[in-house]
């Protein structure tokens, strides 16, 4: 479990421009979000990177990758059939090897010397199985993340055996099936946007795509209007495939010593930029500017 390859997905219509956003990184240099994610991957020892994009975006992403463009291999998701289908587009690239997977609309800030991806890769190598990074996340954020239920591994404070995974659960569903002993009340283990996965997940995704095609074709023949036809197929998501992976083989979740920042949510770009700035060498200057900004902020208007 020492992946040489990584797969980054950036093909969702609502996501395609986010990796191109510019940030000032921790080293004070301006970079695209894609560059920052690639540096995260390369620091963990990955040699080749497969990037799943919308057709026609290859040149734009190659330019945004900067000095790392030569590491990229592109895969176009010409028919947006879901997150799982996007990952499957890189199946020929990963082959029968384990691989590191990240989403293109998250940035990561570690709380220790090792970057988040390095922590994850070292855990996967030590445990010799698939490992997903997770973060204790407050209940109000459940609509944005896949959520893990499981139990803590003995004598390993931040490692959990995955037993159940639900995509964007309701608070009621999470309270009933996803509470993990030891977490604060109202917090759940949500995906970090970073996984080390065995080739078995590609087999599962291929099966799911095949089933979706069959169902889509049958419904099209019956004239159903609730399910996409054979040309489009039903959306194939990654989370159900990961749940099946947990049923087939040992699968762990690591509570990474770090934080993830989803730049696709409201104020996500602002929050990520502040996190990067406060983790870098200009921290004191940034704090001083924030204090000044808050001190000069006008009082909010009274609301009856």
Are 216 and 230 in contact by the 8 Å Cβ rule? The answer is yes
Task: Name the more confident of 304 and 144.
Answer: 144
Are 116 and 268 in contact by the 8 Å Cβ rule? The answer is no
Taking only the tens place, the pLDDT of each residue in 46-73 is 999 999 999 999 999 999 999 999 999 9
What pLDDT does residue 296 have? 87
**Residues with Cβ within 8 Å of residue 43, at least 6 apart in sequence:** 115, 117, 118
What pLDDT does residue 231 have? 42
Residues above pLDDT 90, as percent of the chain? 80
What pLDDT does residue 217 have? 53
Average pLDDT, stretch 92-103? 97
Average pLDDT, stretch 265-270? 94
Average pLDDT, stretch 268-295? 93
* C-alpha span between 94 and 243 (Å, rounded): 21
CATH 3.40.50.2000 is the classification of domain 5-295: no
Are 243 and 276 in contact by the 8 Å Cβ rule? The answer is no
What pLDDT does residue 225 have? 32
Task: Name the more confident of 212 and 117.
Answer: 117
Taking only the tens place, the pLDDT of each residue in 158-206 is 999 999 999 999 999 999 999 998 899 999 999 999 999 999 999 999 9
Measure Cα distances from 80 to 68, 194, 290 in Å: 26, 21, 41
Taking only the tens place, the pLDDT of each residue in 233-250 is 688 999 999 999 999 999
């Amino acid at each position: 479990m020492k992946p040489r390859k990584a797969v980054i997905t950036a093909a969702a219509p609502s996501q395609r421009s986010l990796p191109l956003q510019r940030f000032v990184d921790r080293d004070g240099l301006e970079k695209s979000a894609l560059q920052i994610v690639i540096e995260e991957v390369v620091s963990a020892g990955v040699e080749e990177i497969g990037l799943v994009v919308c057709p026609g975006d290859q040149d734009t992403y190659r330019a945004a990758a900067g000095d790392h463009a030569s590491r990229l291999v592109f895969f176009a998701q010409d028919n947006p059939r879901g997150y799982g289908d996007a990952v499957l587009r890189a199946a020929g690239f990963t082959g029968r090897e384990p691989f590191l997977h990240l989403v293109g609309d998250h940035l990561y800030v570690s709380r220790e010397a090792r970057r988040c991806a390095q922590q994850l890769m070292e855990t996967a190598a030590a445990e010799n199985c698939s490992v997903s990074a997770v973060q204790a996340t407050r209940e109000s954020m459940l609509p944005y993340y896949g959520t893990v239920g499981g139990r803590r591994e003995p004598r390993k404070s931040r490692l959990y055996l995955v037993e159940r995974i639900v995509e964007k659960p309701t608070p009621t569903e999470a309270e009933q099936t996803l509470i993990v002993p030891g977490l604060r009340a109202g917090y759940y283990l949500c995906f970090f946007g970073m996984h080390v996965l065995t080739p078995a997940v590609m087999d599962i995704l291929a099966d799911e795509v095949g089933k979706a095609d069959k169902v889509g074709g049958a419904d099209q023949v019956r004239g159903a209007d609730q399910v996409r036809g054979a040309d489009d197929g039903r959306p194939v998501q990654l989370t159900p495939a990961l749940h099946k992976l947990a049923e087939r083989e040992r699968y762990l979740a690591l509570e990474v010593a770090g934080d993830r920042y989803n730049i696709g949510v409201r104020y996500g770009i602002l929050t990520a930029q502040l996190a990067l700035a406060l983790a870098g060498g200009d921290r004191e200057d940034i704090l001083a500017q924030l204090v000044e900004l808050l001190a000069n902020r006008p009082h909010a208007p009274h609301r009856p």
